[in-house]
Structure 1
Amino acid sequence: MTLLAQRTKRLVLLPLLPLLLLTFPVAASELSAQLLVPGGIRIEFVLFALTLLGVALLHRVTMWVALAGLTAILVAKYSLLADFSFSQHLLGGHGHEGEWRILLNLVGLLFGFGILAKHFDESQLPKILPRFLPDDWKGGFALLVMIFVISAFLDNIAAAMIGGAIAFVVFNKRVHIGYLAAIVAASNAGGSGSVVGDTTTTLMWIDGVSPWQVIHAYVAAVIALVIFGIIAARQQDKYQRITKDAATGVIIAWSRLVVVGAILILAIATNYLLDFPALGVWIAILLGALFVKTPWSELKSAFAGTIFLVALVTCASLMPVDELPPAYWITTFALGFISAVFDNIPLTKLCLVQGGYDWGILAYAVGFGGSMLWFGSSAGVALSNMYPESRSAVRWVRHGWHVVLAYVVGFFVMLALLGWQPSPPHKVTETAPVAAQVP
């Protein structure tokens, strides 16, 4: 580990230490049952907010920020609650199901989808996609539609990276900031209605939400795509016209596409039969390894990101859901803007624990809302590695204003057409009786 990395990790941990000290005056004042800090806010929410703020500001060490935040929350819980047990929280007991199944599924799916994305990339199919793009601004719009469709069955990070790579070629290395924002928005919108297209919807799926309860997110997502897609495509056409020179002599590796299809099919099958989609993903990967070279190196690449997301989801699962705002469309609309600043994975987990949301509207809000800033979604952070000039929140909002417009219009059109259709809590938790008493 370099000296710079060591110093960075210290800077991450130091801001959390004063928050840990807040737990001891609270214990001394015998408020251990409420865990309140000055202002009447639960200490868990303060620590969680600081963790999310650290994630938003320190993009290069997000895994360490998440682990530091989880440690701080656990220290607070153990210091102030005599009956708290982290092992029971994970493994279950006393009527509580435990978080182990969700976390294990999440780990398996994140690692598995990393291999799936690499199989799709090495199938050579992305290299021939530019052949199907029309001329002028319509070519840029068609590329965004492709990204939208790919993201419905492929992880939104992979869809954004594939779209960014194609844009780099067809626009002669000159890609407008507004169009980069549209690439991220297309990948997030395309995954918002599919349980295999975005980590937020995948988290809903493995938590027990039916795929049919999120699919109507596409009503808003398609409307948003038309709005930001046309505006961004015209921006790009004025900045740099499409050349659409596709690679020649490309041979499609159909065997890799078969593995991709098998992964998706078995994930769906094992989720319905065993409530364990990660098992199906890895059965398909291991069977595919018998006749296709498997990119096992992707496991190493996905390690830090997986630990980061698992730590954040665990932090969210430790929050007291009886003190959250009520599940309503106004709350959901606000979560779209919050997810542009804070990671949408723990926000989704909080909503799942609370229950009572319209899952399709929530999937659109937390999935697409993160596109409004470059660091608001994993797809945006990943694309910024390819285009470092996009790492400016001011430029992103200035040139990608159409993403904000598309989010608002898409949300309210879907709300007007379908209405707010909250689902009853899909799981019975220990906190449900407490939540029912809150006005």
Structure 2
Amino acid sequence: MKSNVLRCCRGLGMGLAGLGLSGAAMAAEGPALAGIPLDFVLFALTLLGVALFHDHTLKVGLVGLVTISLYKLVFTGFHAGPGLAGMAAHFAHEWVTLANLFLLLMGFALLARHFEKTRIPVVLPRYLPDDWKGAFVLLVMVFVISSFLDNIAAALIGGAMAHSLFRARVHVGYLAAIVAASNAGGSGSVVGDTTTTMMWIAGVSPLAVVEAFVGAGVALVLFGIPAARVQHAHSPILRHAHEHTHVDLPRVGIVALILAAAVVVNVVVNVHFPARADSFPFLGVAVWAAILITAGIRRPDWEVLPETFMGTIFLLSLVSCASMMPVEKLPAASWQTAFGLGFVSAVFDNIPLTALALKQGGYDWGFLAYAVGFGGSMLWFGSSAGVALSNMFPEAKSVGNWLRHGWFVPVAYVIGFGAMVLLVGWHPAGELKGAVAAH
């Protein structure tokens, strides 16, 4: 860390260069520090605070939101205009996105608990091979689960299965692989990761992010096999676990109904009533309608909501901060920018980075989904899945151990991204609703 504020801000500005930022490109109308508009400096300091103070993320996020809001009020104004009127108009425009995200994050927390209680995660390991290939198949399971379930839940499910199957002796490199598998699996699905869900809410087609599975699949093989071999050498798999457990089929139906409600309502609204998509949080309401309708069949775990609420408010504070950034000062999006975002995502939360990219527009969304989704796996605190799993296995809370034993994750990220460039090609989309043209 730099020894004074100016050098710190310079360093953060260079880190955000992974987003394609440069001093010349960000010539601001308001105050600037070392050529960097103060909007971005305040935002970067907020993200740095989140990265450094893991036990106080909500406070850091809210302080950042208040600070940036006051700065915009006094100095630069908002996209919709200056002063309080500009702020009111800005959040009047953003409220549907924020409401959808709030309802989905809260609802998906209940969805994840429903899936855990289907007992499918307990039954699946009985079909695993009893050598290193079993450890690899477990990572594939986490990858698949994350494609339709939140990646945090997928990582925790994978960690719980690993704890049981390997007699609580889980190698740090394998923990890194579980996080990487959960993030990679969610990158190609709009219901598998908060970042891809944000893209979906913003108008990105689910098919546009599916191409992320090309890079994610290549990466899974590249990090999964060495991680599985390391784990097998560290502690072989335990055979015949949970042989007499049965699946709760009604809960399976509930999970399917909630996911179907989200997909069907989003398709209907965006295809048949696109003009009304920005007027009401249809997607989030559909998910909650399915949850409440099925509550009489199997009781949701309402107890998870208070903690989920705090985490959701934190994420919404960061998304709100990102929505106020002057993204028109950013250079045009490119695959190089998206590639750099993966490394930035390993240090800073990928939610606000995604919000910035969505506001700017012009990305190939599959590339962005892979980069911000999988890139955070390179460090234990680079993704919410990594933080959650590290709370279960405290020995993973070491950057040195994570990099030393999980070296195959950044290697897999680079090669997987290269595979996307060669096999899929960069095909940027047009501007989304609410995007600001970059200059």
TM-score, normalised with respect to structure 1: 0.88
Match of residue 334 from structure 2: 328
Please list the CA deviations of residues 387-426 of structure 1 after superposition, one character each: whole Å capped at 9, or x if unmatched. 0000001110010000001000000011011111000112
Deviation at 1:428, TM superposition (A): 5.1
- Match of residue 40 from structure 2: 45
Which letter maps to 1:311?
A: S
For residues 291-317 of structure 1, the C-alpha deviation after alignment (integer angstroms, 9 at most, x for no partner) is 211211121120111011100000000
Matched, 1:175 2:170: yes
Check whether the contact 1:371–1:377 (CA below 8 A) recurs between aligned residues. Answer: yes
Structure 1 range deviating more: 413-422 or 373-382: 413-422
Of residues 45, 58, 68 in structure 1, which corresponds to 2:63?
68
Whole-angstrom CA distance in 1 between matches of 2:177 and 2:239? 18
Q: Cα 1:38–1:151, aligned 2, differ >3 Å: closer, same or farther?
A: closer
Contact 1:269 1:277 in 2 (8 A): no
1:363 alignment counterpart: 369
Does residue 216 in structure 1 map to residue 197 in structure 2?
no
Q: After superposition, what is the alpha-carbon deviation per residue over 1:86-143, rounded to whole angstroms, capped at 9, x for unaligned? A: 211111xxxxxx1111100000000000000000111112111110110110000000
CA–CA distance in 2 between the matches of 1:248 and 1:232?
26
SS in 2 for 1:99: helix
Distance 1:99 1:214 in 2: 23
One-letter code of the match for 2:43? F
Aligned to 1:115: 110
For residues 74 and 46 of structure 1, what CA distance do their matches in structure 2 show? 14
Partner of 1:86: 87
Uncovered stretches (5+) of structure 1, i.e. residues with no partner: 1-14, 20-32, 92-97
Instruction: Read off the aligned partner of 2:111 and give its amino acid letter.
Output: L
Q: Which residue among 303, 311, 317 is the counterpart of 2:309?
A: 303
Q: Say which SS state the counterpart of residue 431 (structure 2) adopts.
A: coil
Are 1:129 and 1:246, in contact at CA under 8 Å, matched by a contact in 2?
no
Q: Distance in 1 between matches of 2:122 and 2:347?
A: 33
Secondary structure of the residue aligned to 2:113 is helix
How far the C-alpha of 1:364 sits from its partner, in A, is 0.2
Amino acid at match of 1:48: F
Question: Is the contact between residue 141 and residue 230 of structure 1 (CA under 8 Å) also seen in structure 2?
Answer: yes
Matching of residue 230 in structure 1 with residue 236 in structure 2: no
Letter in 2 for 1:323: K
The answer (yes or no) to whether the contact 2:29–2:76 under 8 Å persists in 1 is: no
* 2:200 corresponds to which of 188, 198, 205: 205
Of the three residues 251, 260, 278, the one matched with 2:255 is 260
Deviates more, 1:363-372 or 1:119-128: 119-128
Count of aligned positions: 399
The aligned amino acid for 2:337 is T
Q: Which residue does 1:7 correspond to in 2? A: none
Conserved 8 A contact 1:374-1:381:
yes
SS in 1 for 2:340: helix
**2-structure distance, mates of 1:335, 1:244:** 41
Structure number with the bigger relative contact order (C-alpha 8 A, sep ≥ 6) is 2
Q: 1:221 to 1:34 in 2, by over 3 A?
A: same
Partner of 1:145: 140
**Counterpart selection for 1:280 from 261, 286, 289:** 286
| SS at structure 2 position matched to 1:67 | helix
Verify the 8 A CA contact 2:172 2:405 in the aligned structure 1: yes
1:145-175 CA-to-partner distances (Å, cap 9, x unmatched) read 0000000000000000000000001001100
Deviates more, 1:267-276 or 1:56-65: 267-276
The answer to whether the 8 A contact 1:111-1:299 is kept is yes
8 A Cα contact 1:170 1:245, kept in partner? no
Displacement of 1:244: 3.3
Greater alpha carbon shift after TM alignment, 322-331 vs 248-257: 248-257
TM-score (norm 2): 0.88
CA contact (8 A) 1:148 1:190 kept: yes
Partner of 2:359: 353
Q: Distance in 1 between matches of 2:434 and 2:194?
A: 23
Aligned-residue identity in percent = 57
Checking the alignment, whether the CA contact within 8 Å between 1:178 and 1:399 is kept in structure 2 is yes
Cα deviation digits, residues 54-82 of structure 1 (max 9, x gap) = 11111111111111100110111111146
> Quick one: distance in 1 between partners of 2:62 and 2:405?
34
Unpaired runs of 5+ residues, structure 2, are 10-27, 270-276
Contact 1:135 1:242 in 2 (8 A): yes
Structure 1 residue 214: Cα displacement: 0.4
Which amino acid in the other structure matches residue 152 of structure 2?
A: I
AA paired with 1:90?
F
CA distance in 1, matches of 2:224, 2:246: 30
User: Take 1:121 and 1:177, find their aligned partners in 2: how far apart are those partners?
Assistant: 24
2:417 pairs with 1:407: no
Shift of 1:245: 3.6
Cα distance in structure 2, aligned partners of 1:56 and 1:428:
28
Provide Cα deviations, 1:212-236, integer angstroms capped at 9, x if missing partner.
1100000000000000000100110
Query: After the TM superposition, which of the residue ranges 137-146 and 120-129 deviates more from structure 2?
Result: 120-129
**Counterpart residue number, 2:381:** 375
Instruction: Indicate the SS of the match to 2:169.
Output: coil
Q: What code does the residue aligned with 1:374 have?
A: W
Deviations 1:300-337 (A, max 9, x none): 12011101110000000000001223200111000000
